[in-house]
Amino acid sequence: MKGFLYGVLPYIALTILVGGTIVRYAYFERNWTTKSSEFLSKRDSKWGNPLFHLGLLMAFGGHFVGVLVPKFVTEMGGTDEHTYHLMSLIGGIPAGILFLGGFWLLLKRRFAGSDRMKVNTSQLDRWLYLVLLVTLVSGMLGTLSNIPGAFDYRETISPWFRSVLMLQPDVSLMDEVPIVFQLHMVSWMLLAMLFPFTRLVHCLSLPFEYFLRRDIIYRRK
């Protein structure tokens, strides 16, 4: 099973992520949208949206350094393992709180809000929110459970992920990884497979045209 989860599934997920996104943009560009629901309910997204996206940016930055930057690089820069672990907790816990808190507000808005929101929530939206919830909760639990620093993911998960990118997956690196971290790994792969078919594609749309378009003049009635 581990051979499939950490030696095959990552490539399935990444292939669907990249290939599905390209196909959707090339052939279904009109459907490339966040399916914005602010016209249905705007006031209750006032706090949820900024908290969620701020937590997302912080978490992405932490994951980028922790997973893609080898351990010896930070040590060469003068940051030992103890210092790095403290820095990851100082940044990771607030990021998790913001991320999970914002997501909870958006979750409440989507499923416990107005009837119009519920009607405009698809089955795919429900799967997306479920996988996102599992991904966020498992990541937060992993961070909190590892406050003492007994588990060093930069000697297991990080080199495994880099080995996947180099097309030489070393599944044995995941043998001693705690179950909560394994759940986090599987959940991000499921999220990657859902990505091309959901509203999440909006994060790839950068509003460069906004800075080049002509000014719009509004007149009072």
Summarised one tens digit per residue, pLDDT across range 136-188 is 999 999 999 999 989 999 999 999 999 999 999 999 999 989 999 999 999 99
Per-residue confidence (pLDDT) for residue 22, from 0 to 100: 93
Nearest to 102 by CA among 62, 144, 133: 133
Residue written as token pair 């949820």: 48
| 84-103 per-position pLDDT tens digit | 999 999 999 999 999 999 99
Better pLDDT: 23 or 220: 23
Is-contact 205 32, C-beta < 8 A? yes
3-class DSSP assignment, residue 8: coil
| d(C-alpha 178, C-alpha 175), whole Å | 9
| d(C-alpha 135, C-alpha 121), whole Å | 20
> Per mean pLDDT, which range of 27-31, 42-46, 129-133, 186-190 is the poorest?
42-46
DSSP-derived secondary structure letter, 197 = G
Per-residue confidence (pLDDT) for residue 26, from 0 to 100: 87
Q: Which phi and psi angles does 42 have, rounded to 5°?
A: -100, -40
Residue 84's CB is within 10 A of a number of other CB atoms, namely 19
| d(C-alpha 86, C-alpha 147), whole Å | 9
The answer to whether the predicted template modeling score (pTM) of the entire model surpasses 0.75 is: yes
3-class DSSP assignment, residue 69: coil
